[in-house]
Amino acid sequence: MGERRLQWLAGIVVFWGAAILWNLVKLEVFHHQEYVRIARRSQEIEIPLPAPRGPILDRSGQPLAMSVPVEKVTVNPLKLPDLPVAADLLALVLHLNRVELYGRMLEAQQNGRGYLVVKPKITFEEGQNLRALKLEWVDIDRKSERHYPGGTLAAHVLGSVDFNEKGNAGVEKSLEADLLGAAGSVRLLTDVKRRGIDSQVGSDARPGLPVTLTIDERLQFIAERELAAAVEAHHAQTGSVVVMNPQNGDILALASYPAYDPNIPPIEGDNPISRQNHAVSVPFEPGSVFKVVTLSAALETTNLTPDSLINCHGGVLTLNGRTFHDSHYGARGLGILPMAMVLAHSSNIGAIEVGLRVGQEHMYDYVRRFGFGQKTGIPLPAESAGKVRKLPRWTSGSLPSISMGQEISVTTLQLAQAASVIANGGLLVRPRLILKKGDRVIPAATPVRVIRPETAITMRQMMEGVVLYGTGRLVARLQGYSSAGKTGSAQIFDTATHHFGHSYNGSFMGFSPVTNPSIVVVATVNGTHGESGFGGPTAGPVFRAVTTEALRLLDVPKDLPEQEAKPLVLVADNMDSADDLADAGPASGEPNILEDPEDDATPNAPRVPNFRGMTMRAVLAEAASKGLTVLPAGSGVARLQQPAAGSILHEGERIRVRFAR
């Protein structure tokens, strides 16, 4: 009986051991991976590894935007052991207001929120002190934050990011895919209190690509400084400046006013205008700067030349029931002028006469050739194409209006692109803003010929006349460099009164040096008032200051003597004012051109002869006999000369003489 009991007991023990063994085998062999996965799900946490956002650099490698690591402190208010003590400790270590912090933590606890950011950005010292306390209920999270070292510098080009570091404007938005990179992950093994025991990298984060812009931060600073000074001095509303290399389309500076700091998130009540890129996204009526297109089309499609005589009708012309004026000459008006003088004096009537010779079809063709009415393709959000109506929608007044820069809207960037056509010899070069993505160089777009080289050279000479003796003579001449350009002062249409008011868009577009342009600068000041708000006085000085600094920084050789001779003085002393005003009284006559001899106490210094009225042969013969260098232009008899007769002729200085019939 005893043996039987022992056998039964042994059998039970064996069976029980076998069952345990079988279960162990199932657990360790057959279901091992399954239970490991279950355990990992409860013990492991997968933490994303955010990829650093790619930096944005200027053309020389200076950082314009970069991501820097920062730490923030968070707590779970529902798991705080003692709320008042927690508030005391955190306020002391993190240099916070204790009462305010306690109120925030109490509110979160009462509302059942399990997450509260105590301080979004802490210093290295604060982090070290907090870690030394070894508080289990405190979390210190590391994150990346976008930083713009220059503050407002190039803000409208760079744009900004939101709280998730996602681009929401500028290059940050348009190149989001390149800058963002790819996030990685890490698996963290935790204990029962969710404290880390071990970690394993699941996948590495791939940083975003560094993006190099064509912007030169030095020129960008100068452009923004001069633009802000002009807008504020003339009590204007907005403004923009574009500095462009006419040979390859590189945008060296693109400024917009008013500015904003992308380091500071937008808040309710901010001025939305400050975040608009006025050079790219806000079109305006250009006014007289557009006469460059009109005269270029005339040189291409008609038999007109710079010396062709244009009847300016005394400053008044009526077409199809609408009267046009040359308002800035008052009672004197303008008579018959060579076409070059039409541009120099910015005659509306002369431009209309030229436009009528060109015709609607050709005018529309060349407006489009110069890039107006279409986007440039610059990689920035919300670029405007401007407004050029299709030819079938033109009215009887469209051709004369467009000829002098009305009934059309453009952007400052489009004007820079158009000016580059003249500067580079007739090629339309698309603006380039991105120089490199990572190590890959972004090639410039293939240029497209839109006018003949000889047309471009002729237009350069005529635009130089604007600076030498025309509407830009007092504001756009440079020390040591030749320059060419065009002023513009377009009246702003008042939608309330349905009339043109006394508020203007003042512009200047130009380039330097004239014979081999290295730089194109276009400046626009919007919403100016009165005579001081015309294009010459407002935008001309911006062109002069920015171009002078650009030529110096780019180390462009000077092509004129250092001492600048005085320009010709015109009786029409305000001719650099309103180039294209819509309303003025009738006028007649032609301005006289006066000489302005330069005073000098040196009796033996050579002086400029008076060549006016002489033929080209006679001028060249007299100059040769006196050892002087003359640069003639045109044909007929001498009408204009620079320097003026009687002026002191400095060593190496050349005399420019304009001939007309």
Over residues 140-192, the pLDDT tens digits come to 887 788 999 999 999 999 999 987 888 999 999 999 999 988 877 666 666 65
Measure the CA angle with vertex 460, ends 457 and 462; round to 5°: 115
Q: At 148, which CATH number?
A: 3.90.1310.10
User: Residue 573 — very low, low, confident or very high, per pLDDT cuts 50/70/90?
Assistant: very low
Is 654 exposed, middle or buried (CB count within 10 Å of its CB: 0-12, 13-18, 19+)?
Answer: middle
pLDDT top residue among 643 and 416: 416
Say if residue 20 is in the same domain as residue 56.
no
Token output for 476: 């756009």
Residue with tokens 């730490």: 71
Over residues 317-350, the pLDDT tens digits come to 888 888 888 866 544 567 888 999 999 989 999 9
Of 526, 553, 582, the domain-final residue: 582
The CA distance from 539 to 260, in Å, is: 22
Token output for 362: 């050709």
Q: Supply the DSSP string of 126-156, one letter for each residue.
A: HHHHHHHHT-TTEEEEEEEEEE-TTTTTTHH
User: Residue 595 — very low, low, confident or very high, per pLDDT cuts 50/70/90?
Assistant: very low
Q: 3-state DSSP call for residue 607?
A: strand
User: Residue 9's CB: how many other CB atoms inside 10 A?
Assistant: 10
User: Residue 40 — very low, low, confident or very high, per pLDDT cuts 50/70/90?
Assistant: low
Say if residue 402 is in the same domain as residue 503.
yes
pLDDT for position 422: 98
Tell me 281's DSSP state: T
Say if residue 179 is in the same domain as residue 146.
yes
Flag whether 352 is in a domain.
Answer: yes
Sequence-distant (6+) residues with CB within 8 A of 642 are: 468, 469, 565, 567, 568, 655, 656
User: Is the omega angle on the peptide bond into residue 643 within 30 degrees of 0, that is, cis?
Assistant: yes
Say if residue 225 is in the same domain as residue 207.
no
Say if residue 175 is in the same domain as residue 237.
no
Of 211, 227, 246, the domain-final residue: 211
Determine contact, residues 307/636, Cβ cutoff 8 Å: yes
Flag whether 268 is in a domain.
Answer: no
Flag whether 589 is in a domain.
Answer: no
**Which whole number is the average pLDDT over 82-94?**
89
Is 147 exposed, middle or buried (CB count within 10 Å of its CB: 0-12, 13-18, 19+)?
Answer: middle
Q: At 614, which CATH number?
A: 3.30.10.20
- pTM to 2 decimals? 0.76
Q: Which residues pair with 524 in a beta bridge?
A: 240, 507
pLDDT above 70 (res 599): no
Q: 3-state DSSP call for residue 614?
A: coil
User: Residue 596 — very low, low, confident or very high, per pLDDT cuts 50/70/90?
Assistant: very low
Say if residue 30 is in the same domain as residue 54.
no
User: Residue 229 — very low, low, confident or very high, per pLDDT cuts 50/70/90?
Assistant: very high
Say if residue 204 is in the same domain as residue 232.
no
Helix axes 348-358, 360-369, angle to 10 degrees: 100
Q: 3-state DSSP call for residue 611?
A: coil
pLDDT for position 499: 58
For residues 426, 428, 431, 436, the Cα torsion angle rounded to the nearest 10 degrees is: -90
If one counts the domains in the chain, the total is 4
The candidate with the shortest Cα–Cα distance to 580, out of 343, 418, 318, 322, is 343
User: Residue 278 — very low, low, confident or very high, per pLDDT cuts 50/70/90?
Assistant: very high
pLDDT for position 504: 80
Determine contact, residues 448/417, Cβ cutoff 8 Å: no
Flag whether 266 is in a domain.
Answer: no
User: Is the omega angle on the peptide bond into residue 52 within 30 degrees of 0, that is, cis?
Assistant: no
Flag whether 247 is in a domain.
Answer: yes
The CA distance from 278 to 283, in Å, is: 8
Sequence-distant (6+) residues with CB within 8 A of 517 are: 246, 423, 424, 460, 484, 511
Say if residue 149 is in the same domain as residue 241.
no
Residue type, 155: A
Say if residue 310 is in the same domain as residue 440.
yes
The candidate with the shortest Cα–Cα distance to 511, out of 471, 556, 460, 553, is 460
pLDDT top residue among 69 and 651: 69
pLDDT above 80 (res 44): no
Task: Give backbone dihedrals phi and psi of 69, rounded to 5 degrees, phi first.
Answer: -75, 135
Range of the domain at 624: 596-660
Mean pLDDT in the chain? Answer: 84
Flag whether 168 is in a domain.
Answer: yes
Portion of the chain with pLDDT greater than 70, in percent = 83
Q: Which helix (H) or strand (E) holds 503?
A: strand 499-512
Report residue 625 CA to chain centroid gap.
Answer: 52
Q: At 389, which CATH number?
A: 3.40.710.10
Q: Which range has highest mean pLDDT (324-338, 458-472, 625-639)?
A: 458-472
351, HSE (Cβ side, Cα atoms, 13 Å): 30
Q: 3-state DSSP call for residue 35?
A: helix
For residues 477, 641, 604, 565, the Cα torsion angle rounded to the nearest 10 degrees is: 0
